[in-house]
Amino acid sequence: MPRIAVFTVEELRDAPRPEYGHPVEVRFQDVDGAAIVFYSRFFEYFHDAFAGFLGHHGISLAEAVRSGEWLAPLVHADAEYLSRLRFGDSAVVELVRAGIGRTSLRVGYRIVRGPERVVCAVGQTVHVVVDRQEWRPREVPAEVRLAFETLP
């Protein structure tokens, strides 16, 4: 399987502001003993934004998981933490880049805090689309491809 190019921290940090942003209010249970968001929560924020982005484009991830023909499990995830997020902060998770292969898709995220748009984290996930019955790679569904083609 050919690899989709990895996005750099700079590409994700400096990408233009996208049309879709997923709001996040940092909850008490999201922070650790240092009073900042626990690192794994960023991946939850990324996933919530991924599902929200699909919904914004008329695709229900819940329906796909429940009874659709395809699933899109993660095969890679990474993040760079650039500034603190604390309990009570308001942030937005933005999907800023996409790389689409025949059976996989790489999504680049940026989390910005407050009206100043301080970049707190960037990250990327790689999903391989599989047939729900056979659990073998299959082509990215046309509607998913079209949604992610709206990103640079």
Segment 33-74, tens digit of pLDDT: 999 999 999 999 999 999 999 999 999 999 999 988 999 999
Q: Does residue 1 have a pLDDT over 50?
A: no
- Do residues 137 and 38 make contact, with C-beta atoms less than 8 angstroms apart? no
Does residue 136 fall inside a structural domain? yes
Domain with 132 in it: 9-148
Q: Using one digit for the tens of pLDDT, what is the confidence trace for 73-99? A: 999 999 999 999 999 999 999 999 999
E strands of 26-142, at which residues? 70-71, 74-81, 90-100, 104-113, 118-128, 130-131
Q: Say which CATH number the domain at 64 has.
A: 3.10.129.10
Does residue 119 fall inside a structural domain? yes
Domains held by the chain: number: 1
Does residue 1 fall inside a structural domain? no
Does residue 3 fall inside a structural domain? no
Amino acid at 6: V
pLDDT band at 2 (very low <50, low <70, confident <90, very high): low
Q: Does residue 140 have a pLDDT over 90?
A: yes
14/141 Cα distance (integer angstroms): 29
pTM: 0.94
Mean pLDDT computed over every residue of the chain: 96
Does residue 114 fall inside a structural domain? yes
